[in-house]
Amino acid sequence: DAGITQSPRHKVTETGTPVTLRCHQTENHRYMYWYRQDPGHGLRLIHYSYGVKDTDKGEVSDGYSVSRSKTEDFLLTLESATSSQTSVYFCAISPGGGNTEAFFGQGTRLTVV
Amino acid sequence: DAKTTQPPSMDCAEGRAANLPCNHSTISGNEYVYWYRQIHSQGPQYIIHGLKNNETNEMASLIITEDRKSSTLILPHATLRDTAVYYCIVRGWAGGTSYGKLTFGQGTILTVHP
């Protein structure tokens, strides 16, 4: 299995508090992605990174920020959590696009109460 | 990235082949067809990918039509453990504006029956 770890795996937080999710990889892959998945939906892209300090928004980026200060870590921050951000969050890594595999972490289940 | 269309659900008997179709009529020449599956709420699992030739690995076979507008994922001998949501995705190169992003649709819920 690809070396990708998400932490924490489960978290319950209160509305209005900041939350940071971490994605850590040991594969030295250039590309990293954050997705969220809600009941009845496929995965939707929040943010992605194409290198250290290089990030961009995905289709559902409002309310989220990211940082990548080193190759192995990609952090997703909810500045002020809302109940609509209750979801399962998945991180993915890939050496490139096209003809390369992307590997997913096991997910972080976040509940905002 | 090109969009894909899949049937929402399919059934298959255990031990039989499962053939999952996917339409991707707007695929461009440098885009690959990928298949992933997701069991329960686990992270999506890579199955196979291809450009224009048929591909086979230990999990499945991928048949891409000559015009590349559709493809079929084949699980040759489905087991109960193959019950999952299967996603067909068109993925471009990491260069340009694609950055190798995977855009998920709703997928096909495959249920394998005893």
- Residues of chain B contacting residue A98, judged by C-beta atoms under 8 Å apart: 30-32, 91-94, 100
Average pLDDT, chain A: 94
Local confidence band at A40 (pLDDT 50, 70, 90 cut-offs)? confident
Chain B positions contacting chain A at CB under 8 Å are 30-32, 41-46, 49, 51, 87, 91-95, 98-107
Min Cα distance B45 → chain A (Å) is 7
Closest CA relative to residue A100, chosen from A31, A16, A1: A31
What is the DSSP code (8-state) at residue B98? Answer: T
* CA A89/CA A47 separation, integer angstroms: 11
Asked if residue B1 has pLDDT above 60, the reply is no
- pLDDT in the model for residue A12: 98
Question: By the 8 A CB rule, do A107 and B43 touch?
Answer: yes
Whether A105 and chain B come into contact, CB under 8 Å, resolves to: yes
Closest CA relative to residue A52, chosen from A21, A75, A19: A75
* CA B35/CA A9 separation, integer angstroms: 25
How confident is the model over B38-92, as pLDDT tens digits?
998 899 999 999 999 899 999 999 999 999 999 999 999 999 999 999 999 998 8
Asked if residue B2 has pLDDT above 90, the reply is no
A4-32 burial: b if 16+ Cβ within 10 Å, else e: bebeeeebebeeeeebebebbbeeebbbb
B113: left (phi over 0), alpha (psi -120 to 50) or beta: beta
What is the DSSP code (8-state) at residue A83? Answer: G
* Cis amide prior to A8 (ω within 30 degrees): yes
- pLDDT in the model for residue A27: 95
